[in-house]
Structures are given as C-alpha cells and as structure tokens.
Amino acid sequence: MFKVQKNIIYEDEAILVVYKPAGIATQTARLGQQDMVSELKNYLAKKSEFKEKREPYLGVVHRLDQPVSGILVFAKTKQAAAELGRQITSGKMHKFYYAVIYGRPDVREGRLENFLYKDAKSNLSLIVKEDFPNAQKAVLEYKLVKSLMALEENAEPEEISLIEIKLITGRHHQIRVQMSYRGMPLLGDNKYGSDKSKDLSYEIKCRNVALCAYKLEFFHPISRKKITFERLPEGDIFIPFFTRNF
C-alpha cells in the first residue's frame, strides 16, 4: 500500500513538495483508485492544524501522467497556488526530467520545437502544423547523458540511452510525443513508442513510461527565494545508468 508521508520531500505553511511514484495518478475521479491529491488531503486532515471539520485546501499546481514518476509541488493556500501558477505562466518554474530512450540520439543535445494538438477523444497528442486549429507550441531541450546496452534473452543486445530534458512548455504528453517524433521513443511508452521500443520494453519488463521529473526549481511563494528540489529516479530501468560508473 502506497503511503504518501514517505514521499514528502519538503513541507511548510505554504507548499508541499512530494515525489510521485510511477503508477499513481496525480488526481483522479475514479472510485477506489489512489491518487496523490486524495492521499495528501488525508495526510493534512490528520495533522493538528486541521482539527476543524473542513476539508484541507490543496492546490494542484501542475501534474504528471500516471505512468510517470517525479517531483510535484502542491500549494497549501490559495495565495500560494496563485503565485506558483503565475510562475508557471511566466516560465519561472523550471522542470527537468530523466528519460530512457530506445537507441542513441543522432545529435548529443538539441532543442525540439513542434506544434501539438490534443485529441480529447483518444487522449493522445499529435504533431501538427502551426496553423492547425487549437495547435499549441511545444518546446524542450535535451542532452545525452549516457548510453548502455540492454541485454535480452536469446537476442542481440540493443542500445538504450539516458537523456536529460529541460521542459520549456508544459503540454499534454509533450515529452513522449516530441521525443518519439524525432526517433527517440521512450521505453515503456505504449502510446507513442515504436514497434522496436515496445518490443524491448516488453522483454525487459519496463511496464511504466521511463520518464522521471527529477528536478524542480521555483521561487518560494512567500519568501520569494529560489529553491531547488532534486531526487534520482527510483524505477528499475534507471538504476543501471546510476550504478555503472555514472
């Protein structure tokens, strides 16, 4: 059973910073399904500062897809939520990710700029032209960190790579779509992966998207001081990159 207290990285009167494991939703309306918002509200309700018979406030500032792990910041007051929201809109909150992709990028580092359209019916995002209705510009920067050989039973080893990504814009499934479009599909991604990346993911039992929001930088909503939180990915797919002479 998932216990959210163990994943709290930092807490004060204005914010809660937590590490969301892969497989747990940020927020869901599905009955009986755990999610970070519900667990954190239960945690806050049990604290002495919330003895009144009211639901504690928890502002959702940003989200991570259910199969993605990483750091999230939540607001404990409406004022903090508004300030953090302004930082996202103005580009003052910076998000950094580690991703494991199939293969090795042709260029060690680069900047990807595309226009995305979210298809609400299929819950997929598509690369479209700039003049496509409701298209949104998506930008990220990436660099190769390290490549390794993934070993399968009765098969030739295949190369996989750890990529660091700085997210400039926050669009629906942005990293997964853009990286796949440029021939760098993430392992464990059944929605946007290539046939080869899906096959390898199945063979090595990579069941969640190999993507982790490992670092978050923003200005504290009260003190206005710049703060940074960082945590290495916990998924098995990441471990070899951090244990083999990283």
3-class DSSP assignment, residue 244 = coil
pLDDT score of 159: 95
What pTM did the predictor assign? 0.92
Q: How far is CA 116 from the centre of its chain?
A: 18
pLDDT score of 246: 43
Q: Is 65 an active-site residue?
A: yes
8's enclosing H/E stretch is strand 8-11
Give the residues across from 73 on adjacent strands. 17
User: From first to last of its 246 residues, what are the pLDDT tens digits of the chain?
Assistant: 567 889 999 999 999 999 999 999 999 866 667 899 999 998 998 875 556 667 889 999 999 999 999 999 999 999 999 999 999 999 999 999 999 999 999 999 999 999 999 999 999 999 999 999 999 999 999 999 999 988 766 667 899 999 999 999 999 999 999 999 999 999 999 999 999 999 999 999 999 999 999 999 999 999 999 999 999 998 899 999 998 654
Spatial distance between the Cα atoms of 204 and 202, rounded to a whole number of angstroms: 6
* Residue of 65, 189, 195, 199 with catalytic role: 65
Spatial distance between the Cα atoms of 211 and 197, rounded to a whole number of angstroms: 14
43's enclosing H/E stretch is helix 36-45
pLDDT score of 47: 79
pLDDT score of 245: 52
Spatial distance between the Cα atoms of 169 and 186, rounded to a whole number of angstroms: 19
